[in-house]
Chains A and B, each alone.
Chain A
Amino acid sequence: MTEPIVTLVDDDEAVRDSLALLLNFRGYRTRPFASAEACLEAWRPDWRGCLLLDLRMGGMDGLALQQALLQRGSSLPIVFLTGHGDLAHARVALKSGAVDFLEKPYEEADLLKAVAEAIERDTREHATHSQVAEIATRIERLSERENQVMQLVVAGKPNREIAEDLGISPRTVEVFKARMMEKMQARSVPELVRMAMQADVLR
C-alpha cells in the first residue's frame, strides 16, 4: 500500500516551490508538477493522498486535468487553488467532485484543513475499497457448498433448516459452517452478516 502524498500542480515555479516547502514542514510528502500534462503522464492508479491543482494554467488547465483523471478512473480528491472571481469555474469543479476550492490569497489554516480533509477522505475511501475487495476474495475462495451454507446462515436460518434445504445432515452442515467461518475470518454470525452486507452493498 502506498502512503498518502500531496500531488501539486501549478505552473508558477515560486508558488509550487513554496507550497511544497510549507506542506513538507507540516508533515506531508509532496509530488510537484509544473504542468497538467506532466502530472497526467506520471499518474498511476495506486496514487494515494490528494491533488492540489491551480485552476488557471498555461496549456491544459486544472478543470481539464480533473476531467482527464476522472476518465482514467482516478478517485483522488482534488483541492483547487484559484485567483479571484472564478465562480463559474468553481461550480463546474465542485460538480465534478472537487472537495474544496481555495481562493488566493488563502489562509494557511484553510489550506491545511482542506488538504487534511482531502487526504482523510481518500484514506477512508481507500480503506473501504480494500476491505470490500478483501471480503470478495474470501468469498471467492469458498467452495460451492460453503457458499450455499453462508447464504442460508446470513438469511438467518438455523442449522436444522439448512440441512433440510440442502438435503444433508445437520452434522455435515456444522462441518461446512465451521470451515466457512474460518475462511471468512468471521468470529461470529453477526460479523459474517456485516461482511456480507458490506460486500453486497458496496460491490
Chain B
Amino acid sequence: MHAIKLNISWRVLLAFGLASLVLDVLSNPQTVLPLALAPWTPLPGLTLAFLLLYGLHYAPLLIGVTFLANMPIYGVPQDWLPALWAAGLLMLGLWGLAGLLLKVWRIDPHLGSQRDLTLLLMVAVAAAWLDASVHVFSRSPEAAPDAWAWMADLVNFWVGALIRILIIMPLVLVHAKVDWRGWRNWPIWDWSRARSGWTGGWNLTREILLQGIAIAVALWIIFGFKYTDEFKFFYLLFLPMIWIAMRHGIQGATIALAASHVGINMILGWQGSHAITVVEFQMLMLGLAVTMLFLGMTVTARRATEERLHQREAELNQAMRLASAGEMAQAIAHELNQPLSAVANYARASRSMLDDPARHGALLAETLEKIDREANRAGQVMRRLREFFRGGGLRSENFTLTELINESLSYVKRRGERQGIQFKLALDESLPSVMADRVQMGTVLHNLLSNAIEAHVSSPEPREIEISAKRVEGDMIKVCVTDNGAGISSEMEGRLFESFATSKAEGMGLGLAISRTLVQAHGGELWLVGSQPTRFCFTLPISGPKT
C-alpha cells in the first residue's frame, strides 16, 4: 500500500475564499434567496473548477473556507446543523461530478477541446440542479404556498445557477494557467513594439478597449432607452461577443461573458426589475453563454491546430535543411574524391615511368599534364563551393534582427522548454534593420541556439539561455547567445571552428564552421567569448556586406 499524500496548498484555499467573497458581492441579490444556509454553501461553479484543477481532496476544506469567508457578512446562522448538512450534501454531489469528469471521462481541466466543453456543460446542468434543489428544499414551507409556485422557484433557481456555473467555471478553468506574477510582461502593455497580428502590441490593447466599449454600448442600447421593452434588443449583445470570441477564443469569450453578466446584474439591481423579467433575461443569458462558449472553444481549437501545423512545418523545414547539409557534404566529398583519386593514380604511375625514363619520357610528360588538369579540377570544386557560400548565393534583404531572433526562437522554443530551459531575451528595441541574407542568418542563429539547447542535456537546473542583441561601434550589430550548460572543454576549444570537429554523438561538426563562414561572408565575425558559461557572439554590419 502506498501512503496517500494529499497535497494541500494554503494559496489555493486563500484564492478560493477571496473568489467566493468577490462573487458574493457581485451576485444579483434577486437570484440569491435569503436563506439561513447561505454562509455554508459553497458556490458550485467555483467549487467544481477548484476540484477539477487542484484535486478532489479539497472538497471538505472548501466548505470550511466558504464558512470562514462568509461569516463576517452573515454571522453564525442559528440552524447551523441542517445548514451544514445541506452544504455537505451539495459538496458531495459536486465532488462526485468532478470525479466523473476527471476519472471516467478524463477531460483536460484546462479545456482542450469541444468534447471537454460539452461534458462540462452536461455536468453543469446536473450541478445547477443540485444547487437549486438544496436551496429550494431547505426553505421554510411558507416561502412557497403551493406545488406550482414551488416548481417555478426550482426551475427559476436552476437556470440561474446554471448561468452562474457556466460563467464562473470556464472562466476559472481557462485562466488557471495564466502566469499572474508575470503580468508586467503581458503583450497588452507592450505598446512600444510595433508587432503585427493579434498577439501583442498597441493594436491588441486598442482592440480590447474597443471591444469593452462595444459591450458597454450594447448594454446601453438594451437597457438605456426608457421607451423600449427591456430585452427587445438583447440580441445586440451577441455582436460584440461574437467579435471577441472570434478574436480571442475561449479566453476572451469567458471574460466577456463574465463582464457582461456582472454589468447586466448591476443594471437590473439599480432598476429593481421584477421577477418575471428576470426569468426572461435568464433564458437569453443562458443562450448567450452556451453559444459564446462553444464559439470561443471552436476558435481556440482551430488556432491550436494551426499552431501545431505551423510547428510541424517548421520542424520539417529544419530537418530538410539539415538533411540537405548532409547531402551537400556527401556531394562535395564525391566531387573532390574523383580528381584526387585520379591525381594519386597518375602520380603512382609516373613514379614507375621514372624507372625507365628513356622509354616512357613522352608518356610521363603527358601524365604530368593530366595531373595538373585534375588538380585544377579539384580547385574548381573548391571555388564553386566558396561561391555557394559567398557572394554568389547571397540574397540580401532588409529585416530587423529582433524579428529574426524571435522567429528562430519560435522554432526551438518548445524543444528547449521540454528540457526545462528558460529563454531570456535582452534585445535593444531601437536596433536598426540590417541588409543581409535572412535565410543564412537564420541558419547561424539556429545553429547557435541548437548548440545551446544541446549543451543543457545533462546540466543541473536552473537551465538558462540568454539571447542579446545591441548596436556596437562601427555600425555593427552584435548578437550573443549564452548558455549555462555543460561548457566547452579546453581540448575542444581550439578546434571549435574546424569542420567535422564535434563533441556530439550525432553531430557532423559542421554547424559552427558553416556559421562562421556565413557570418564572414557578410563582413562580420563569429567568436567564442567564454566557455563557462558558454557565450558565442557574432557581429553583422548594418549596411550589409561590402561588395
Contacts and interface: CB of A to CB of B under 8 A. Distances in A.
Nearest to B360: A25
Contacts of B343: 18
A14 B343 CA distance: 9
Contact of A15 (B333, B345, B367): B345
B348 A108 contact: yes
B25 to A, nearest CB: 73
Interface in A1-54: 12, 14-15, 17-19, 21-22, 24-26
A17 B370 contact: yes
A15 B352 contact: no
A190 interface: no
B348 A105 contact: no
Contacts, number: 62
B339 A14 contact: yes
B320 interface: no
A106 B370 CA distance: 19
A21 B338 contact: no
Contact of A22 (B337, B338, B348): B348
A84 B333 contact: yes
Nearest to A11: B338
Given A22-B345, A22-B349, A83-B330, A105 B340 contact: yes
A105 B341 contact: yes
A18 B342 contact: yes
Interface string A93-107: 000000000001110
B386 interface: no
Given A18-B370, A25-B349, A56 B334 contact: yes
Contact of A21 (B340, B367, B374): B367
Interface string A59-82: 000000000000000000000010
A141 B373 CA distance: 62
Interface residues of B, number: 22
B352 A106 contact: no
B333 A18 contact: no
Interface string B362-398: 0000010010011001000000000000000000000
A21 B349 contact: yes
A85 interface: yes
A142 B374 CA distance: 63
Interface string B317-354: 00000000000001001100111111111101100110
B340 A14 contact: no
Contact of A14 (B330, B334, B342, B349): B342
A19 B349 CA distance: 9
Contacts of A85: 330, 333
Contacts of A84: 330, 333-334, 337
Nearest to B341: A104
Instruction: Pick from B333, B345, B377 the residue with the most CB of A within 10 Å.
Output: B345
Nearest to A102: B341
Instruction: Pick from B340, B349, B367, B377 the residue with the most CB of A within 10 Å.
Output: B349
B341 A15 contact: yes
Instruction: Pick from B348, B352, B367, B370 the residue with the most CB of A within 10 Å.
Output: B348
A86 to B, nearest CB: 9
Contacts of A15: 338, 341-342, 345
B338 A14 contact: yes
B334 A83 contact: yes
Interface in A105-145: 105-106, 108
B374 A14 contact: yes
Nearest to B363: A21
A35 to B, nearest CB: 15
Contacts of B353: 25
Contacts of B338: 12, 14-15, 104
B346 to A, nearest CB: 5
B432 to A, nearest CB: 44
A104 B345 contact: no
Contacts of B349: 18, 21-22, 24-25
Contacts of B367: 21
A180 to B, nearest CB: 54
A147 to B, nearest CB: 55
Instruction: Pick from B330, B338, B341, B353 the residue with the most CB of A within 10 Å.
Output: B341
A203 B23 CA distance: 99
Instruction: Pick from B333, B334, B370 the residue with the most CB of A within 10 Å.
Output: B334
A21 B345 contact: yes
A25 B352 contact: yes
Contact of A18 (B330, B337, B341): B341
Interface in B250-304: none
A84 B329 CA distance: 10
A25 B339 CA distance: 20
Interface string B484-515: 00000000000000000000000000000000
Contact of B370 (A14, A25, A56, A108): A14
Contacts of A83: 330, 333-334, 337
A22 B374 CA distance: 16
A25 B350 CA distance: 9
Interface string A169-183: 000000000000000
Contact of B337 (A17, A26, A104, A108): A104
Nearest to B334: A83
A111 to B, nearest CB: 9
Given A12-B342, A14-B373, A14-B377, 12 more contacts: A14-B342, A15-B338, A15-B341, A17-B370, A18-B370, A22-B348, A24-B349, A25-B352, A56-B334, A81-B341, A85-B330, A108-B348
7 contacts: A12-B338, A14-B377, A22-B346, A83-B334, A104-B340, A105-B337, A105-B341
Enumerate the 7 nearest inter-chain pairs by beta-carbon distance, A residue then B residue, closest first: A18-B345, A14-B342, A83-B334, A104-B337, A25-B352, A18-B342, A22-B349
